[in-house]
A and B are shown apart, each in its own frame.
Chain A
Amino acid sequence: MAAWGLRRAPGVVLAALALPVFAGLLGTLAPAFGLMAVFGQAQPGFAIFADLLAWAGFWPALWLSFKVGLVATALSLLLVVGLVAIWQGSRSFGLFRHALAPLLAVPHAAVAFGLVFLIAPSGWVVRLLSPWATGWQRPPDLLIVQDPGGWALIAGLVVKEVPFLLLMVLAALGQSDASRAMLMARSLGYARPMAWVLAVFPLVYRQIRLPVLVVLAFSMTVVDVALILGPSTPPVLAVQITRWMNDPDLSLRMLGAAGAVVQLLLVGMAIALWLLAERGVAMFGRRWAWAGHRRGPGPVGAALVLGGAMAVLGCVVLGLMVLALWSVSGLWSFPNLWPDTMGWGQWQRHVPAAIDSLWRSCAIAVAATVVALVLALTWLEAEARFAMPIGAGGVWLLYLPLLVPQIAFLPGVQTLMLLAGVQGGVLAVTLAHILFVFPYVFLVLSAPFRAWDARLGTMGRALGASPARVFWRLRLPMLLAPVLAAMAVGMAVSVGQYLPSLMIGGGRVSTLTTEAVALASGGDRRAIGVWALLQTALALAPFAVAVLLPGLWWRNRRGMRQG
């Protein structure tokens, strides 16, 4: 690409992303402030917010969203940090890492369903112990899932976010000169975990800060997991917004829009609080380092972290097994540990119908991810070559699609597409997916890309290579692992999109996820089992490539093999 074009790439990309984002936001803001005539009920002002405050569940829902988001994010991060600090470099960690990566591909809703069937009073754990140990002939009436405190929801989110953050940390590790920092700290007499936390983590955290914030925003705005695991009296704010947006009484959409504005502010507040807490932790960490404590977390701490990690792994793996069992089960009554009858009927029933959507999902995911990847690489290369860093405003703009609840943001995009005469089709859905895939691809890719040691480039230039040659022959090959990780995450994100596929496609573009969510609304665990496994399989393939290929590719380059 000519230098002229490359130099303008970030601006063009940002503009292309900004237009739908602003249209979507406008579609959110205008009704909330009474600026959009929905059934002639336009009364500019804040009246609708008064209605929102009048909802009895407003403050509890607000607090719940806030708490779930912060606790789930902090717990996930703590587990990941502890895990890597204690365990990194050992052989069993390598195995664990390979086992965890595929977990990322498991759709959120499938993890949630699996978890429910593990821990619910009629779930597998209770069945395992009943009736011989518990004496229960029927499930006990205990409130385990959907508890008012939101702890089941937090558990579900942690199970799903730990693999994501772990992948981010490992991708960042490769670009942060960790081994030398580690060596230095170890030579000063620090125990391995302490050395990692004090010397390496600060380097890594700088790179994974945005992924952490995305996890925070996601945990606060997630709808499908919250519907399955979260409390319902009242639900978290995002679920309530979805209910209003889905209500047959179309005027409630304005209330939903106002709720979305509050949700946006709430996410902003949580992020601000998180950033504040970051400083506190950093200050504490510096004091700790100055004080020179060299001892590790001790056996109890280590056991807690490892136990937590095993629980995460166990929940997902057992959850998937249970889903697989359900997909072949007939009646499965309590307290039987295994289905009363089994057969392939469900697969025979659903797979022929699924093939079509499977290919469509696949095509959309590949197309959206490739476009997003090209855009992200172009942007990052332009940024590096012309020293034009993206401003803070640009970053926030970029991540808006991830921070605004989809249900409030998408109708605006839909209206814009209708106005532009873009008919809902596979192409339109792919374009919409790019909106959500691009931030994730950029997220995964940008930190390793920027952390690439520019001196290698200087060296290449000194040996007579053009900037393009440096990019194609040095930078890109060395960044193979993060590029593949970005693609895997991008494809998983695309495969998992529900609302964009439904709303932009006008319902005419059926993907694996639109079909699966529709079936999940019926709550038939056997159908859910089949579809969730299909979804998992589709999202799994790229992760397998992302984990295995770099090792094969770099098998004769020791310095390129991390983790």
Chain B
Amino acid sequence: MLKHLAGLALAAGLFVAPLQAETPQPNPADWPAVLAEARGQTVYWNAWGGSTTTNEFIAWIGQRAAEDYGVTLTHVKLSNTADAVARVLAEQQAGLTSGGAVDLIWINGPNFAAMKEAGLLFGPFAEDLPNWQLVDVAGKPVQADFTVPTDGMESPWATAQVVFMYDSADMAPLADMRALLEWARANPGRFTYPQPPDFLGTTFLKQVLYEVVDDPSVLLAPVDQADYAAVTAPLWAYIEALTPHLWRQGRAYPETGTRQIQLLADDEVALAISFSPGEASAAIANGQLPASVRTFVPSGGSIGNASFVAIPFNASAKAGAMVVANLLLSPQAQARALDPAYLGYGTVLDMARLSPEDRALFDQIDLGIATLAPDQLGAALPEPHPSWMVQIETDWIARFGGGK
């Protein structure tokens, strides 16, 4: 009997063909039709749920969506964005071309690259959204995600830039990554970074790479077009030199970026990397960090990127999902996201394109005690091509993550 069961499952698993017929897709260029179709839909937004402030922001977006557009928004709280990617992939393998469980994903970088390449996304839709007119296309990294062209397959909603959080009771800001190494030598055990493949840990490696490489422009092309070993040799020399002076001598690492905040609060470390210029201020306001924490950016600039939302190819409520994506780009939502009392994320909008009333929303925000002003933050360095991230990550794991 068991043999038969196994055979049946095998047959079902391997020889299934897509059964559902294609349903008509909503057309983002016809926005009134999208709004009409969206009314009454329920949108399941799969987004990382590890932060109370983010969760509350998403709940607020849900209220706006319900009141203004009749769209019910449900936040599916993920511990890892790849869970949503895996879900869509499983649905694709099962031939489910409509009626999928995921309507909207908070995504960027390698997850986006993987989904786009595997044809798991709906679109293009982003540049047809009404609020796209307000987006700072020239100044913000909204059309390329880790150098991969977005092609309208995902819609931006926040920007992020690397800053370092430090406890001003313990230390002064550092000029660059070389200064960081010197400081770590003098203050052993007071710095660490999240363990790659955590994206923030890999980001630290990329930040160092930017500062030690001779010609940063090679990082913008795929890794196989460069002499990888030669380009990254100074990076590995740096990390080799740094590791013995890390927290726990590099024998253990915090698992995620947010776990670092706890280390900072516990005074186990004095310095931590963050991908959100407003995170420290929000954490201080929250009682998560001591009020003596401040931020700095390396003098040569720091890596910046954007967060996006994307719609899977088989989403059940595509119209509703586009309405939410558009809502996220509204000046009200962007201003609230920027306010560290709520979220402290950077905006993707161009202030010059806003009406005076909308601009006033941004002007009255108190960015918080530990947040750098836009001119202090400086220009963002573009993310290297995703292939660099993958290769550096693999290399780090082989060199430092495999139990020397």
Residues of A in contact with B (beta carbons under 8 Å apart): 15, 18-19, 22-23, 26-27, 30, 36, 39, 55-57, 60-61, 120-122, 138-139, 141, 143, 145-148, 227, 231-234, 243, 245-250, 253, 329-334, 341, 349-350, 353, 397, 411-412, 414-416, 418-419, 423-424, 502-503, 506-508, 510, 514-515, 517-527
Contact = CB atoms under 8 A, between A and B. Distances in A.
Given A148-B251, A521-B79, A232 B111 contact: no
B197 A506 contact: no
Given A248-B109, A514-B77, A27 B6 contact: no
Considering residues B5, B95, B252, B288, which has the most beta carbons from chain A within 10 angstroms of its beta carbon? B252
A26 B13 contact: yes
Contact of A143 (B46, B83, B99, B252): B252
Interface stretch (B172-180, B222-230, B259-267): B259-267
Considering residues A248, A341, A506, which has the most beta carbons from chain B within 10 angstroms of its beta carbon? A248
B203 to A, nearest CB: 14
Interface string B65-93: 00000000010111111111111011101
A233 B83 contact: no
B46 A507 contact: yes
Given A138-B267, A506-B102, A26 B252 contact: no
B252 A19 contact: no
28 contacts: A22-B2, A26-B6, A26-B10, A57-B401, A57-B402, A57-B403, A60-B402, A122-B268, A141-B188, A143-B248, A148-B251, A232-B401, A246-B80, A248-B110, A250-B118, A330-B287, A332-B265, A341-B287, A414-B87, A506-B87, A506-B101, A507-B84, A507-B87, A507-B101, A507-B102, A519-B49, A523-B254, A523-B261
Considering residues B85, B102, B255, which has the most beta carbons from chain A within 10 angstroms of its beta carbon? B255
A233 B56 CA distance: 35
Given A234-B401, A518-B50, A246 B77 contact: no
Contact of B91 (A353, A418, A515): A418
A239 to B, nearest CB: 10
B96 interface: yes
A58 to B, nearest CB: 8
B361 interface: no
B189 interface: yes
A56 to B, nearest CB: 3
Interface residues of B, number: 84
The 8 closest A-B pairs by CB, nearest first: A522-B50, A506-B101, A56-B402, A518-B49, A141-B189, A330-B287, A418-B94, A122-B266
Contact of B268 (A57, A121, A502, A506): A121
B90 A418 contact: yes
Nearest to A61: B403
B141 interface: no
Contacts of A349: 52, 56
Given A22-B5, A519-B52, A331 B287 contact: yes
B32 to A, nearest CB: 29
A412 B110 CA distance: 24
A331 B290 contact: yes
A232 B256 CA distance: 12
A61 to B, nearest CB: 8
Nearest to B246: A141
B109 A416 contact: no
B157 interface: no
B29 interface: no
B401 A233 contact: yes
A21 to B, nearest CB: 9
B86 A245 contact: yes
Contacts of B80: 246, 521
A245 B79 CA distance: 13
B197 to A, nearest CB: 7
Contacts of A247: 82, 197
Given A415-B90, A522-B258, A141 B290 contact: no
Considering residues A143, A249, A419, A518, which has the most beta carbons from chain B within 10 angstroms of its beta carbon? A518
Contact of A411 (B46, B90, B195): B90
Given A248-B82, A418-B96, 20 more contacts: A19-B5, A139-B268, A141-B247, A143-B248, A143-B251, A146-B248, A148-B251, A233-B253, A233-B403, A247-B82, A250-B85, A329-B287, A418-B90, A419-B12, A503-B83, A506-B44, A506-B87, A507-B46, A519-B50, A521-B258
Contacts of A56: 397-398, 402-403
Interface in B242-299: 247-256, 258-259, 261-263, 265-268, 287-290
Considering residues B85, B254, B267, B290, which has the most beta carbons from chain A within 10 angstroms of its beta carbon? B267
B82 A416 contact: no
Contact of B403 (A145, A148, A332): A148
B114 interface: yes
A333 B56 CA distance: 26
Contact of A508 (B76, B83, B259): B76
Contacts of B84: 507
B25 interface: no
A457 B267 CA distance: 66
Nearest to B49: A518
Contacts of A418: 90-91, 94, 96
B51 interface: yes
B352 interface: no
